[in-house]
A and B are shown apart, each in its own frame.
Chain A
């Protein structure tokens, strides 16, 4: 069953009613952008080991992924989902601690950057191999069904590249076989929504630069999944406004691509809507910025003061069942 929602037209978007959670969503986007700009700055200053992977341009889609989930739902975010992670409830200090390698973070220096999560709080910890989290989310939903829970959903994000993996294909297929309440949100510069037909998903596409559309369409998809409709696929058109990571200058993105409508900055568009429609006054907007900056500063300062892991003190045991650790030395 394919239902392709028309892409939002910006000319009519101003007249469309503003989603009731637009302001709240904008603040999460602002926080994510502020945090990631700080991380980029720290990386360029040589204070972050490994890499920094940001979601610039993807915040509108991502925030909608996290905003409509309840605590008991399952969220399997991907690389550029800072806004969604925050909206779902990830403490900002988790981000800082993971990037800065704190011993006190959720990954305790054992894994870094966006490879983080708190599975006990229903936020799965992604692995780098794209598509792998789709079936893991399906399994989490099956467990809830086994346990007799009701009205839960799971949501996972995937990029256009990740959608080409066998793992993603297998995961989406098995979701349809099991008829679990799954929402897959894809970020793409091509409209791949017709794939929904083959998978037995309901499919929707939207303009990923338009926060209002993201809230409407992804919010509705979550609602439908929760109500027992088939798995949902939402394909959001957008352009990553950065390289893959900060080591990548994205020089391969041509000016022609940058002029496309899907290459606009969703945060700027959302702020313009706030100003144009006078959703809040200038002073409130400024206070939101200040608040985001203060939260980021606090998270980074906290993480910078944390203890770092040490090789000689590390617990080199990859098993929960310690007595089964292979004694090699």
Chain B
């Protein structure tokens, strides 16, 4: 048996619908026979009648509705058709869901699934990585699963958490990643994972950049350079302890993210390591992100816009020469 990242997301939702009557799925074209733009809910409407609901193209109202339902005992899973479109729902997510517990002491247990990240030919409006925007605001958990196993267990965990969870699923991984089976249990939320052990350099990353970083590490290993790859799993909370422990072993830090370069998760990691672990560093930390332009359409431009195994490896070599 082989199961993809996308199938893991579907299976997690099926399990949640089966085992928790408070769960319903809400989004554009998720119901009926269509099963969502990427088929992450395929067949669920038939299996769970009345609990996989199509919505109008109204991202603001979709999240607003989910908030109201969550306040009244439900556990809605919202599917944004593309992460990019969640910009329409920013007000409800950041100002309503994100502030609610702080203001009222009543939590808002919604899960918002964001199919994000680049794929060839998707262009500026269907490729964005939104995790840094959501992590910037208080009151939200931001998950960025990088493996089939995490895609499954973290979505189940997201729905169990009483606070709003932004679940960033990467479209590039939907079909590219496969696992033999789904685990019963994953690491705790907020705990990073050492995806590859190494002594020369720490690469901290998340989501699809974990795979690119692992490929880069393979390339570097052929040159005798051993990279440790830390998969953050959640951008917020950020497991600073695991990152610092890795930097303590290697003395060098490279942060990799697919989102735009100004601020964001990679900058936050470097800020924390230089504040709390300056003495651990043998060289100035480095980061690599997408370029500071909208995401291009053409495959030649797209593949040069985002970090890749090649550019990550090049940056690592530069850092190791210091």
Contact = CB atoms under 8 A, between A and B. Distances in A.
A110 B70 contact: no
A320 B164 CA distance: 10
Contact of B190 (A111, A129, A318, A324): A324
Interface in A225-266: none
A282 interface: no
Contacts of B55: 174, 177
Contact of B103 (A125, A321, A326): A125
Given A143-B73, A170-B60, 11 more contacts: A132-B60, A132-B91, A135-B65, A139-B65, A140-B69, A142-B68, A146-B24, A167-B92, A174-B62, A318-B139, A320-B163
Given A142-B65, A144-B72, A132 B92 contact: yes
A69 interface: no
11 contacts: A117-B104, A124-B71, A127-B99, A132-B60, A132-B92, A132-B96, A135-B68, A177-B56, A318-B139, A324-B161, A324-B190
A233 B64 CA distance: 19
Residue of B24, B103, B163 most packed against chain A (CB within 10 A): B103
Contacts of A275: none
Interface string A123-142: 01101110011111111111
Interface string B88-113: 00011001101111111111000000
B95 A129 contact: yes
A319 B139 contact: yes
Contact of B102 (A117, A136, A318): A318
B236 interface: yes
A327 interface: yes
Nearest to B91: A129
A320 B107 contact: yes
B66 interface: yes
Contacts of A135: 58, 60-65, 67-68, 92
B109 to A, nearest CB: 8
A308 to B, nearest CB: 17
A106 B162 contact: no
B320 interface: no
Nearest to B68: A139
B312 interface: no
A37 B107 CA distance: 34
B104 A173 contact: no
Nearest to B51: A146
A142 B76 CA distance: 11
Contacts of A147: 72-73
B104 A107 contact: yes
A166 B87 CA distance: 13
A161 interface: no
Contacts of A170: 56, 58, 60-61, 64
A160 to B, nearest CB: 20
A307 interface: no
Contact of B71 (A119, A166, A319): A119
Contacts of B100: 119, 125
A115 interface: yes
A147 B58 CA distance: 24
Interface in B201-241: 236-238, 240
B141 interface: yes
B61 A171 contact: yes
Contact of A119 (B106, B236, B237): B106
A197 interface: no
Q: How large is the interface on A (under 10, 10 to 19, 20 to 34, 35 or more residues)?
A: 35 or more
A284 interface: no
Interface of B: 24, 55-56, 58, 60-74, 76, 91-92, 95-96, 98-107, 138-139, 141, 161-163, 189-190, 236-238, 240, 272
A328 to B, nearest CB: 8
Interface in A311-329: 318-321, 323-328
B58 to A, nearest CB: 4
A319 B101 contact: yes
B237 A136 contact: no
Contacts of A327: 237, 240
A143 B104 contact: no
A120 interface: yes
Contact of A167 (B60, B99, B237, B272): B60
Nearest to A317: B102
Interface in A159-192: 166-167, 170-171, 173-174, 177-178
Contacts of B104: 106-107, 117-119, 125
Given A127-B96, A129-B91, A140 B103 contact: no
A115 B91 contact: no
Contact of A166 (B24, B60, B95, B161): B60
B70, B71, B236, B272, most chain A CB atoms within 10 A: B71
A111 B68 contact: no
B68 A115 contact: no
A320 B101 contact: yes
A136 B64 contact: yes
B95 A127 contact: yes
Given A167-B61, A171-B64, A321-B161, A142 B69 contact: yes
B61 A146 contact: no
Nearest to A176: B56
Given A321-B163, A327-B240, A138 B98 contact: no
B237 A324 contact: yes
Contact of A146 (B74, B138, B139): B74
Nearest to B275: A329
Contacts of B74: 142-143, 146
Contact of A138 (B68, B73, B99, B240): B68
A139 B66 CA distance: 6
Given A129-B91, A137-B68, A140-B71, A174 B61 contact: yes
Nearest to A131: B60
